[in-house]
A and B are shown apart, each in its own frame.
Chain A
Amino acid sequence: EDQVTQSPEALRLQEGESSSLNCSYTVSGLRGLFWYRQDPGKGPEFLFTLYSAGEEKEKERLKATLTKKESFLHITAPKPEDSATYLCAVQGGSNYKLTFGKGTLLTVNP
């Protein structure tokens, strides 16, 4: 059974204070690892898909990296508008199911 563990559960940063969120996973035959952002009262918003170890993707202040056991979401010089819950999910095997972690609640104070 696919499993995803995200840490920390919550992270509070000052504006401009860079940090990383972790997503550890076990999956049978990784087809993709997904990062989403979720704001209160809204559905998850797609950020990145990573497919193989060593792959990296960037978008504005966010950079996602992938190894065979975990993924990191690096946030550089965050702003208050980056405050949200960040979700990690994996897709494995031959099915379309996404297995999600519980997320990291990020708060960036001005």
Chain B
Amino acid sequence: SAVISQKPSRDICQRGTSLTIQCQVDSQVTMMFWYRQQPGQSLTLIATANQGSEATYESGFVIDKFPISRPNLTFSTLTVSNMSPEDSSIYLCSVEDLTNGYTFGSGTRLTVV
């Protein structure tokens, strides 16, 4: 199954700043997915990132707030822009795995103060 490395694992950021989260996969994948897991809430899909095209955002998420890059078939970044305390959450990347459903990274725990 695919192995995902996600960085950073955690960070504490000042409001108004931005944080870029990196996701590296050990194999080439067509689509990469970014999820948010807020305290006490379910994992929610933010966007789907395809290499060579614009990311597709879910309802309630916009590119200006969560810009995504997908420069190649093994790497993607998610930026959380102009952060507020409401952005405090766990952010996870995921890829489809032919044998194991969808594989997730270990997540980035973000705290905005």
Binding site for B on A (CB under 8 A): 4, 32, 34, 36, 41-46, 48-49, 87, 89, 96-103
Whether B41 and A102, one on each chain, are in contact in the complex, defined by CB atoms closer than 8 angstroms, is: yes
Q: B109 contacts which chain A residues (CB < 8 A)?
A: 41
Whether A102 and B107, one on each chain, are in contact in the complex, defined by CB atoms closer than 8 angstroms, is: no
Interface of B is mostly: strand
Whether B104 and A43, one on each chain, are in contact in the complex, defined by CB atoms closer than 8 angstroms, is: yes
Interface of A is mostly: strand
Q: A87 contacts which chain B residues (CB < 8 A)?
A: 42-43
Q: Which of B40-61 contact A (CB under 8 A)?
A: 40-45, 48, 58
Measured between alpha carbons, how far is A87 from B92 in the docked complex, in Å? 15
Of the listed stretches B14-22, B69-77, B80-88, B93-101, chain A binds B93-101
Whether A4 and B33, one on each chain, are in contact in the complex, defined by CB atoms closer than 8 angstroms, is: no
Whether B107 and A96, one on each chain, are in contact in the complex, defined by CB atoms closer than 8 angstroms, is: no
Known: A43-B92, A43-B107, A102-B40. A97 touches B45 (CB 8 A): yes
Measured between alpha carbons, how far is A27 from B106 in the docked complex, in Å? 28
Chain A residue with the shortest CB-CB distance to B56? A95
Known: A42-B107, A43-B106, A96-B48. A101 touches B42 (CB 8 A): yes
Question: Least Cβ distance of A92 to chain B in Å?
Answer: 13
Q: A46 contacts which chain B residues (CB < 8 A)?
A: 1, 97, 100-103
Q: Which of A98, A101, A102 has the most B CB atoms < 10 Å from its CB?
A: A98
Chain A residue with the shortest CB-CB distance to B58? A97
Give 8 pairs: A residue, B residue, CB < 8 Å, sorted on A: A41-B106, A42-B106, A42-B107, A43-B105, A97-B48, A98-B45, A98-B94, A102-B42
Whether A98 and B102, one on each chain, are in contact in the complex, defined by CB atoms closer than 8 angstroms, is: yes
Q: Flag B13-43 by CB within 8 Å of A: 1 or 0 each.
A: 0000000000000000001010000001111
Question: Least Cβ distance of A80 to chain B in Å?
Answer: 22
Question: Least Cβ distance of B26 to chain A in Å?
Answer: 15
Q: A44 contacts which chain B residues (CB < 8 A)?
A: 43, 92, 104
Known: A4-B42, A43-B92. A96 touches B31 (CB 8 A): yes
